[in-house]
Amino acid sequence: EIVMTQSPATLSVSPGERATLSCRASQSVNSNLAWYQQKAGQAPRVLIYGASTRATGIAARFSGSGSGTEFTLTISSLQSEDFAVYYCQQYNDWPPYTFGQGTKVEIK
Amino acid sequence: EVQLVESGGGLVQPGGSLRLSCAASGFTFSNYWMSWVRQAPGKGLEWVATIHQHGSEKFYVDSVKGRFTISRDNAENSLYLQLNRLRADDTAVYYCASFSASYYFFEWWGQGTLVTVSS
């Protein structure tokens, strides 16, 4: 089973600042990685797939990079609606499909 | 507009059973692999089960094998999860989710249904 590890657990950022979230896989997942955003009380929604492709309707301030075992989600200028929990998920080697434990982005 | 609407959650005693349903609309249901993903209170996301477009292949996380059964009815555009021999650690919001057309990430999600296992 591939273990996904996200860091940090919590990221405190001021509106307008840049946020950088990390995700590490225990073995290579090539570019088969997705990022999800989950706001309180809501279902997750996909932001990025293929490590760097924005999903339909996702704002350009969200970008993904990386391949193999190291991945990054960057939010270039945080908006109020971006404060949420973010999860990475690998779909290279399955089952199981595995998620990271999440990074909470909170207001500084 | 794609919609996934779960139902069937509730309070059940340990050892009991429940059947969750997910009604799909707004896309050609029979063309998509479908899954259940759960989230325990205050915890992260955990994939539970996935079913092939025509039900010919099914996959489960180890912790639910032999207890949960995923199924679908393409004529009714519906996905199901039968939960048997429930345990306290099965308490979670259960989300119905579909893969994208080409890749195995979860493109669309329902709003979830809460299953609480407690005496």
Low-confidence stretches of chain A (pLDDT beneath 50): none
Query: What does the pLDDT read at residue B39?
Result: 98
pLDDT tens digits, B35-83: 999 999 999 999 999 999 998 999 999 999 999 999 999 999 999 999 9
Indicate the SS3 state at residue A65: strand
d(CA B67, CA A49): 31
pLDDT tens digits, B77-103: 999 999 999 999 999 999 999 998 888
Contact A21, A86 (CB under 8 A): yes
Q: Round the average pLDDT of chain B to a whole number and report it.
A: 97
Cβ under 8 Å to B: A residues 72-91? 87, 89, 91
Contact B92, B68 (CB under 8 A): no
CA A10-A11-A16 angle, to 5 degrees, is: 155
Q: Do A100 and B62 touch (CB under 8 A)?
A: no
User: Among B116, B75, B69, which residue's Cα sits nearest to residue B92?
Assistant: B116
C-alpha distance from A34 to closest chain B C-alpha (Å): 7
Q: Do A43 and B103 touch (CB under 8 A)?
A: no
Which amino acid is located at B116 in the chain? T
User: Among B89, B90, B70, which residue's Cα sits nearest to residue B80?
Assistant: B70
